[in-house]
Structure 1
Amino acid sequence: MDRFDNGRSLSPIRQAEAYWTALLNRDSVPMRSQIDPRGLENILEYTFILERIAPGLARFRLAGSHLNALAGMEVRGMPLTAFFQPDDRAGIKDVLEQVFAAPAVAELGMTSGGVLGRTPMQARMILLPLKSDLGDVSRVLGVMIADGAIGKTPRRFSISDTRIKMVSDIHVQIPVKPTPAHGFAEVEGKFKHPAKHLRLIVSRDD
């Protein structure tokens, strides 16, 4: 699952997933404003941000150069469905709606056929939900990475497999304050001023 058939690593997807998970607060998804490009700088060419525009529909707000190369044009403002074959667009709409409504994380395997001057291509995409400044889940941090010669563009893909994971099912490590060991704990008591128990001793040795 972490490599294409030819062994190419899917580490950009795993890096984005780890970055997003680190921003999780229990089962509450991160805010769009929390996403810092510096935390993703080595995978920015594969990274994108989506904005929900209708049920099951989202458009690109930002997209890296890898996605532009696959489309053969600037994809900003285009719907995510533009990357999919007509028969698969209903499927990606259903996946998107689960990501926004559940919310959930979705990971998709994709293929592009080798016809009309194109060689067969594999791709993988992850969709990680985000909140807008208004607090609604209407943004997505995503990564898409394709393996193979791009050839004639635009490249459109079919969905080969889908994995959906509810955000509420993702285990988040919550730091726990250490409790003092009982053997070293001191019993709290009322402080007694020592003055009433002292007496002055005068030396007569001179």
Structure 2
Amino acid sequence: MIEKSFLTDKRFPELTELDAYWTALKGTRDMPARSDVNPRGIEGALSHTFVLERIAPGTARIRLAGQRLKDLMGMELRGMPLTALISLSDRARMEQLIDQVCTCPGIGQITLYAEQGFGRPSIEARMKLWPLTDAQGRPKRVLGGMSFRGAIGTAPRRFMIETSSLQPIGGLGTPERAEFADPAVPFRAAPRSDHRPAGKVSYLRLVKAQ
């Protein structure tokens, strides 16, 4: 289950806004469609928002990304894998969670901290992933949000995963499940012991999605 503290942490308000928006969009369905998402409904979180397309097991590409995420990498993110934001050692773990978000299906949450070095101060971050259906009704799209505290410093910034978990929402029995030898199941990894302290809150900048 998703921890209450993750949902109510006021340091990361963009995730709270996105969670409420996704929940309102889905109504009585298991999940909303990608076509339901309107940037005007999430203006307070838009610069921290992204949309993924899962094109194969272990492969999800960024189709839209807010300006604050582009700032983290110092470049345009469209067409890149979400794992471009993740340290090499944790990329397989992120790919597994994205797969589970789409195949379980479920809502994923991740706590992260940035790799540090000269010109790269500490950053504490939270990411959340909500499944969306495509035009054929398949859960192959993901609405994501990444909120962070700390100065960006010198881009690109990449992040280590501290904890990750999945909250299944159930309901859809699709051919996607056959891509795994065993059914997708919730998982939670033990926290790392080398957690980095958070820095100051960075300012937000609203960016209109194309």
Query: Normalising by structure 1, what TM-score?
Result: 0.76
Determine the C-alpha separation between the residues in 2 that align with 1:166 and 1:26. 16
1:135 aligns with 2:137: yes
Gapped runs of 5+ residues in structure 1? 170-206
Determine the C-alpha separation between the residues in 2 that align with 1:3 and 1:36. 22
Q: Which of these residues, 83, 86, 90, is aligned with residue 84 of structure 1?
A: 86
- Asked if structure 1 preserves the Cα contact closer than 8 Å seen for 2:101 and 2:130, the reply is yes
| Deviations, residues 49-79 of structure 1 (Å, cap 9, x unaligned) | 1011210221110000000000110111110
Number of equivalences: 167
Determine the C-alpha separation between the residues in 2 that align with 1:47 and 1:150. 17
Q: Which of these residues, 66, 85, 104, is aligned with residue 64 of structure 1?
A: 66
Residues 145-184 of structure 1: pairs in structure 2 closer than 5 A: 145-168=147-170
Determine the C-alpha separation between the residues in 1 that align with 2:125 and 2:7. 10
- Using the aligned pairs only, state the percent identity: 42
Determine the C-alpha separation between the residues in 1 that align with 2:7 and 2:135. 35
Asked which structure has the greater CA Rg, the reply is 1
Match of 1:94 in 2: 96
| Deviations, residues 8-49 of structure 1 (Å, cap 9, x unaligned) | 621110110111011224452110011111110121101111
Q: What secondary structure, in the 3-state scheme, does the structure 2 residue paired with 1:137 have? A: coil
Match of 2:125 in 1: 123
Determine the C-alpha separation between the residues in 2 that align with 1:146 and 1:28. 28
Gapped runs of 5+ residues in structure 2? 172-210
1:53 partner letter: I
2:58 partner letter: G
Determine the C-alpha separation between the residues in 1 that align with 2:58 and 2:25. 25
Determine the C-alpha separation between the residues in 2 that align with 1:31 and 1:113. 35
Q: What secondary structure, in the 3-state scheme, does the structure 2 residue paired with 1:23 have? A: helix
- Asked if structure 1 preserves the Cα contact closer than 8 Å seen for 2:131 and 2:143, the reply is yes
Query: Normalising by structure 2, what TM-score?
Result: 0.75
Determine the C-alpha separation between the residues in 1 that align with 2:162 and 2:25. 29
- Asked if structure 2 preserves the Cα contact closer than 8 Å seen for 1:3 and 1:9, the reply is no
1:19 aligns with 2:15: no
Determine the C-alpha separation between the residues in 2 that align with 1:50 and 1:104. 15
- Asked if structure 1 preserves the Cα contact closer than 8 Å seen for 2:129 and 2:145, the reply is yes
**1:163 CA drift (Å):** 2.3
Inter-CA distance 20–8: structure 2 relative to 1 (3 Å threshold): closer
1:35 aligns with 2:17: no
1:93 partner letter: E
Runs of 4+ aligned structure 1 residues displaced above 4 Å come to: none
**1:113 CA drift (Å):** 2.6
Determine the C-alpha separation between the residues in 2 that align with 1:34 and 1:54. 23
2:133 partner letter: K
**1:91 CA drift (Å):** 0.3
